[in-house]
Structure 1
Amino acid sequence: MISMDSRTKAFAFPVTSNFSASIVTVHPSGMREIHWRPTSDEWTFFIKKQGRATLFTAPDAATTFDYMAGDVGYFPQSNSHYVENTGDEDLMFLEVLHAPQFTGMTLGQWIASTPRQFVTHTLNLDDGTLSQVKTEKQCVVAGSTSD
């Protein structure tokens, strides 16, 4: 078992070499950061409570779905997506990959690892905004506790 942070646990299954999974808990008003899987499709099984997922399909399409415990979501390989907690209790879901290792790329991680001049020019972001992007992977991002 590999601990990604206190709310996300990733697992590889020794009985099979081509599946891996992560259990994710998202607190109220938080979200699973925008991310994509470069090596596998992702199947998500919603275990507890409710959430909303948005899937971005290049070059210009986005689809949003509401989920509740017992639902299954599917995110094609390389399509970025995020899951937000829309309830007032912890949202828990299982992400499953058809891959021997649990891998993925978050938007923050990609921006932080791309040359700053390229990001500034392409996304029209100033240095102040870019300096707030964390270089370490944030699987779950806390929401605001103020109204």
Structure 2
Amino acid sequence: MDPVLYYPRNMYGQSATVEFHASPLAPKLKGMMNFVQQPYGVEVIVQVEGLPSFEKKNGTQIGPHGFHIHEKGVCDVGNGEMPFESAGGHWNPDDQPHGNHAGDFPVLFSNSGRARMLFFTDRFTVDEIIGKSVIIHQGPDDYQTQPTGNSGLRIACGVIEWN
């Protein structure tokens, strides 16, 4: 069966945007994401600058940076020590183990504080993620530790909104 038949014709080309808001842990961070519905899945484009440099400090690794879709579309910094806890946990609509959540993304590798990436996924449609948030974490995702991948503190957050 042709996978194109799974999506109504009017869904093609739907798009959503995220504008990242920085935390006190990465105050210069800014960036955008776009999600574009395609016939076989969603094209995801991210561009970020102001990412912290790679380092290991007291057993904590900073960079590359894990990032994921989170359950709630709320990006309140809170007290600044544990930013963006208001976004809730990882979005996991089909109750999979971490590493296979629909909202698990590849890590962001920083080049002098900048990252740009494009990838494609068939784990969700643009329509399903509207109103959720995307979080960039301080450290890399190990794709194993349950339920969050041990990717550390949250350094940026943005809400997914229709374009």
Same fold (TM over 0.5): no
> Where is the strand percentage greater, Structure 1 or Structure 2?
1
TM-score (norm 1): 0.35
> Where is the helix percentage greater, Structure 1 or Structure 2?
1
TM-score (norm 2): 0.33
